[in-house]
Structure 1
Amino acid sequence: MSSSDAQISLRDLAVQARSGDDAAAASLMAQVHQIALRYARARLGRFSASVDASADVAQEVCVAVLTALPRYVDKGAPFEAFVYRIASHKVADAQRGVMRGAVPSDDLPEELDTAPTPEQLALQSDAAQQMHGYLDQLSDQQREVLTLRVAVGMSAEETAAALGMTPGAVRVAQHRALARLRTLMSEQGGIS
């Protein structure tokens, strides 16, 4: 296919897409995406993360062409010229964004982000691992009593029924397990 055939093809596809032909619109957008992607890669190649930026620009060009297609007037220029004009504006916007980088804002978020920070998550994970290490040093019964009483929140009576013990025996086992944990933590440096 020669260059003039491609231009005619795109122009024809644009006319068909404007008249509501979905297949022509899909074919037109596929070709516009290829053109825009090649153009963006050529212009943005020297910037870091240019592959992602080029793909973003190509997508924005497709959206802009599809949005502007109902207002497109054929003035005799190749349809590619219309695409390149849009692509050049989108590439310039991307370049300005890359050059500018992050800009501080005076606007405050509307809501406070209460999610744990990565540092807090790491500390929590480390503390949980240390605690599991201490619990592993308890007897099975003590570990089970602490799990049901502290982690699950069961009463002494509920724990007794679950473990086949009396409520008094559960309280004694819990007391001994907590005392053993305190001893282990003081001997081994505690949870950081």
Structure 2
Amino acid sequence: MTPVDAGGLQELATRALMGDQGAVADLLEAVRRRVHRYCRARLGRLPGADQAAEDAAQEVCIAVLTALPRYKDTGRPFEAFVYRIAANKVADAQRAAYRTPVPTDEVPDTVSDEPGPEQLALDAFDAETVGRLLDHLPAKLREIITLRVGAGLSAEETGKSLDMTAGAVRVAQHRAMQRLRKIAMDDASLRVSS
């Protein structure tokens, strides 16, 4: 079967509504091909994404077939009708994936000291804020702060990496930190509201 464009999809839907069984089969094949690509794109990050996309595309086809007798041509493309159904089925698949328990090999006997969801969210916020702050610095100062604070290198090690003296690294780091402090105080979006 050759690929069907949006106008062809509308024509197939009209013929299917009139009872043409061949048009129903062609319509479902065209819908399946389109929504499968859509579902794969939307569900690609989930575990088992290929199977989830296949299942969602099948659910869309069933829903389109079920809703077809009630479909009214209101001047909007049939494709919009299909993608509205597909968006709902993808959302259902995403919700189901998030609710699926994650199996573990063993249940721990002690409380985990790993950061919980709240701490991970705070860490992500802090990292994003630091990234926005560092964007205000020239490349050389940003590199010094990254090596000294982020990587934990000494002033001597940073100086060797950047072909500077350890003293020059310390002075540049101090100036960069002063500039970052001033930017953070002046920019309300970089402060955490209490």
TM superposition score normalised by structure 1: 0.50
